[in-house]
Amino acid sequence: MKEFNIAVMHGDGIGVEIVNASLEVLEKIGEKYNVKFNTKNALLGGAAIDATGIPLPEETIKICKESDAVILGSVGGPKWDSLPGAKRPEKALLGIREALGLYANLRPAKVYEALKDACPLKDSIVNEGVDLLVVRELTGGIYFGERGRVKKDVDSAYDTESYDVNEIKRIAHVAFKSARQRRGKVTLVDKANVLESSRLWREVVNEIHKEYTDVELEFMYVDNAAMQLVRKPSQFDVVLTNNIFGDILSDEASMITGSIGMLPSASVREDSFGMYEPIHGSAPDIAGKDIANPLAQILSVAMMLRYSLDMKEAAEDIERAVEKVLKDGYRTADIYAEGMKKVGTKEMGELVVSKL
Ligand code: NAD
């Protein structure tokens, strides 16, 4: 029997409830596909502060490093809001990504047939289908480049966008491999008509493309991409881009889907290891009430199966189960509409399990 070690960080707030719901789904997948998932809990964020005094204990990094993949809920909450920046739960998020060398952020945006009304775009656009994946570089570019203030006659400030060939190569591989698991198309989004760094991205991505001739590659300027995302999102499969453009476009793409409780994400590196978490936070306003939507967390588990554990079929199985539950009219409070059946976190998880 195949075995995988999975580190599990519930985190804070609704993280605890939604991760528990997703673990039931994982258990069912284990039974169905004859795979053993050895899960090990690790502390992160506020939960870690309460137990150890710091948001990211060494023990947590060790447990993650010894695993094949990591499941994360969400961290933070009012209880820790008065702590100084470096000691806050959210600090652990950057820290754990850095410690694990996770430089690529994968954020899918998909509009579910049953939730089409939540999408702010016109029916004629949505009906063509919205199912894309933003692959964003996470540890380089202008957010990490040299910056400063210059005091002359008039004060000025600068930030620097800089990438080296290796940084671009490694994320290009992630994008092309992801496209192979999807519909086989990569769109590199850049500003190559103006920026030298973008021109380097094009050169390098073109070169790496030679190893993935089965995948289609196209180029698009970022201003046009921002427009095309709302004009004709169906044209996109994998959108590959740098840190700053990815930051902006992934938020735009997630808005198109209309529901924060439905969107998973992954932070990965070249060797298929990754950390999987919903895009939303710990929602302290609804924590502990069994009303949070666990689907983003459950879909994060599906992403883990696809990208880290090479279990594409099982991933699709979960995605289909989620679609069936929605089609049957079950909704948590955040996506509830009149005439539907309102369910809580736990029940939503159980419904997904029942469809597997
Ligand atoms: P949030 O995403 O936690 O919540 C925003 C709104 O969406 C709230 O009204 C919340 O109830 C709702 N919501 C979020 N997820 C939901 C779900 N699964 N089901 C139903 N409703 C859901 O953002 P926030 O309120 O700005 O932040 C709360 C805390 O989370 C803060 O401490 C923040 O720093 C932290 N945070 C953590 C992460 C992370 O762990 N990756 C990300 C963002 C924010």
Whether residues 67 and 193 share a domain: the answer is no
Q: Are residues 336 and 272 in the same domain?
A: yes
Of the candidates 123, 223, 310, 328, the residue annotated as catalytic is: 223
Name the closest-CA residue to atom 43, ligand 1.
281
Nearest-angstrom CA–CA distance, 90 and 205: 33
How confident is the model over 173-232, as pLDDT tens digits? 999 999 998 999 999 999 999 999 999 999 999 999 999 999 999 999 999 999 999 999
Residue 112 annotated among the catalytic residues of the structure? no
The reply to whether 27 falls in a domain is yes
Dihedral of CA atoms 91, 93, 97, 98 in degrees, nearest 10, equals 0
CATH of the domain at 196: 3.40.718.10
Print the domain residue range for 175: 120-257
Task: Kindly name the residue from 191, 312, 324, 346 that is annotated as catalytic.
Answer: 191
- The pLDDT tens digits of the residues spanning 159-172 come to 999 999 999 999 99
The answer to whether residues 132 and 252 belong to one domain is yes
Euclidean distance between CA atoms 90 and 215, whole angstroms: 37
- Cβ 103 vs Cβ 270: under 8 Å: no
Same domain assignment for residues 124 and 103: no
What local confidence, expressed as pLDDT, does residue 190 receive? 98
44 lines ligand 1 (CB under 6 A): no
Whole-model pTM? 0.90
Q: Is 46 marked within a binding site? A: no
Are residue 24 and residue 76 in the same domain, yes or no? Answer: yes
Same domain, 124 and 236: yes
**Is the CB–ligand 1 distance for residue 336 below 6 Å?**
no
The pLDDT of residue 114: 85
Residue 150 and residue 221 share a domain: yes
Examine the domain organization and report whether 271 and 356 are in the same domain. yes
Name the domain count of the chain.
Answer: 2
